[in-house]
Amino acid sequence: MPPIVSEEYKVNRKKLILESALKCFAEKGFELATIDDICARSGMSKGSIYNYFKTKEDIYIQLMNEQTRENFEYFKEAFLTITTATEKLQFLLKTYREVSLTEAFKNLTLVHGEFWLSTSRKKEIRSIMLERYQNVYIRFVKEILDEGKANGEFKHDFDSSVIATLFWTYIDGICLDYAVIGNEYPYCEIFRQTEAMIFSLILKRD
């Protein structure tokens, strides 16, 4: 009657699969990475993996959910000690600027990109992806922007929804191109320039 294995055990198994999958996806891309690859990496059997996840796609979805959750928890945690909207936005940008440089993040970006693209043709996951995009990513930045407006930090003559979209579009563009092109990409300059431009759109001029 009591569970045979602890909840913790199961959580760890799932984590193991997700970690292994992430490595595999990063290495070969989502499509090219096989369930067998994930088995080999995790040391688990095929059947076991399918006990924890419904499909290969499901692994990706949950992987992204986990990552997104961790990301935004990290930001929210940090924001407890940050009072201005300006600093929050700076923190966000700084985080992306710094993490983008790691090899792991570059691989992750490629996987995300691959999935993001495939989204447009796969009806079933499209809504999941778009919902997360709108309700997590866009909303998060929009709230900072609105806070800054209310604060008096930011101007009032911009549509925070549009600027939030623009924010992520630029981040997407930068991360993607950097992930593909690599060190030849003038990453730092582009990032700095973009930050400056975004702030010039929203900050009140002195």
Partner DNA sequence: AATGAATGAGCGTTCATTCAT
Partner DNA sequence: CATGAATGAACGCTCATTCAT
Binding site for DNA (CB under 7 A): 1, 3-5, 10, 13, 32-36, 44-48, 50-52, 54-57
Nearer to DNA, 34 or 83 (CB): 34
For the four alpha carbons of 41, 13, 124 and 135, in that order, the dihedral sign comes to negative
- What is the full DSSP assignment across 131-182? HHIIIIIIHHHHHHHHHHHHHTSB-SSS-HHHHHHHHHHHHHHHHHHHHHHG
Judged by CB under 8 A, the residue of 119, 136, 143, 195 near its own copies is 119
- What is the full DSSP assignment across 57-88? HHHHHHHHHHHHHHHHHHHHHHHTT---HHHH
Q: Which of 157, 167, 172, 166 is nearest to 89 (CA)?
A: 167
Residue 114, φ and ψ in degrees, nearest 5 = -55, -45
Report in angstroms the alpha-carbon separations of 23 from 29, 55, 125.
9, 17, 22
Tokens 């949950």 belong to 62
Nearer to DNA, 36 or 70 (CB): 36
Q: Which residues in 137-166 contact its own copies (CB under 8 A)?
A: 159, 161-163, 165-166
Q: Which of 122, 142, 121, 1 is nearest to 55 (CA)?
A: 122
Nearer to DNA, 46 or 155 (CB): 46
Nearer to DNA, 44 or 166 (CB): 44
Q: State yes or no: residue 199 binds its own copies (CB under 8 A).
A: no
Q: Which span (9-17, 62-70, 73-81, 129-137) binds its own copies, by CB under 8 A?
A: 129-137
Cross-strand pairs, 177: none
51: partner contacted, choices DNA, its own copies, none (Cβ within 5-8 A by kind): DNA
- Which string of x and - marks every residue 6-45 that binds its own copies (by CB under 8 A)? ----------------------xx-xx-------------
To the nearest whole angstrom, how small is the minimum distance from the Cβ of residue 98 to its own copies?
18
To the nearest whole angstrom, how small is the minimum distance from the Cβ of residue 56 to its own copies?
14
Tokens 């055990």 belong to 9
| Residue numbers at the binding site for its own copies (CB under 8 A) | 28-29, 31-32, 110, 113-114, 116-121, 130, 133-134, 159, 161-163, 165-166, 168-174, 176-177, 179-182, 184-186, 189-190, 193-194, 197, 200-201
